[in-house]
A and B are shown apart, each in its own frame.
Chain A
Amino acid sequence: GAVVSQHPSWVICKSGTSVKIECRSLDFQATTMFWYRQFPKQSLMLMATSNEGSKATYEQGVEKDKFLINHASLTLSTLTVTSAHPEDSSFYICSARSRRDYEQYFGPGTRLTVT
């Protein structure tokens, strides 16, 4: 149990375009979802925390107008990278947490390359 999926697994887009990444909890209800970014050979960086039905809480230094997060249901959260630039190229990972425990279940990640 506790499976989290992410789509797409990888995406290449042109500079200036927007990209949407989906994160789904497949067999449990995720009251909280987290979005992380990880640059090569660096640790996870929390971007934002979202609770179902409410606005996301962004970490300091993360532009909320650039990284739009929607957590419309207990099983789906989306991250939209708007007006992407090459420096946004990174590995984006979501995780989900249920009411039952405090473990975070990670999706497989999405590798974004902006050309």
Chain B
Amino acid sequence: GQNIDQPTEMTATEGAIVQINCTYQTSGFNGLFWYQQHAGEAPTFLSYNVLDGLEEKGRFSSFLSRSKGYSYLLLKELQMKDSASYLCAALDSNYQLIWGAGTKLIIKP
């Protein structure tokens, strides 16, 4: 079957760095997305990785290892507004997104 695993909840301190891990098992693989979702709002796109390695975009970076079925989202210089759920989603062989349950990130002052 197809499966995406990510931690349910994480807590970090304002100004610090946090890494949210995601492992995936899919029928075929055409890339991995990270989305941010604030409570009561729709998800917003953060990153897309299809090749191995690290993609940096400002305070957010995303890493992919296809051989390990593993990705992480790295958030630096955490701000209170980063408190949200972070959704990992893998694109399978049919180009359908398989969603993780999301990681709720709590930022403390």
Interface residues of A (CB under 8 A from B): 34, 42-44, 46, 49, 91, 93, 102-109, 111
Chain B proximity of A37: nearest CB distance (Å)? 12
CA distance A46 to B43 in the complex (A): 13
Whether A103 contacts B48 in the complex (CB less than 8 A), given A91-B40, A108-B41, comes out as yes
Chain A proximity of B51: nearest CB distance (Å)? 14
Contact present for A43 and B100 (CB under 8 Å): yes
Whether A44 contacts B45 in the complex (CB less than 8 A), given A102-B31, A103-B33, comes out as no
Residue from the list B30, B42, B95, B102 in contact with A106, Cβ < 8 A: B42
CA distance A75 to B51 in the complex (A): 31
Contact present for B42 and A108 (CB under 8 Å): yes
Whether A43 contacts B87 in the complex (CB less than 8 A), given A102-B95, A103-B45, comes out as yes
| B60 in contact (CB, < 8 A) | no
Residues on A with C-beta less than 8 A from B40 are 91, 111
Chain B proximity of A43: nearest CB distance (Å)? 4
CA distance A106 to B33 in the complex (A): 13
Residue among B30, B42, B43, B48 having the largest count of chain A Cβ atoms under 10 Å: B42
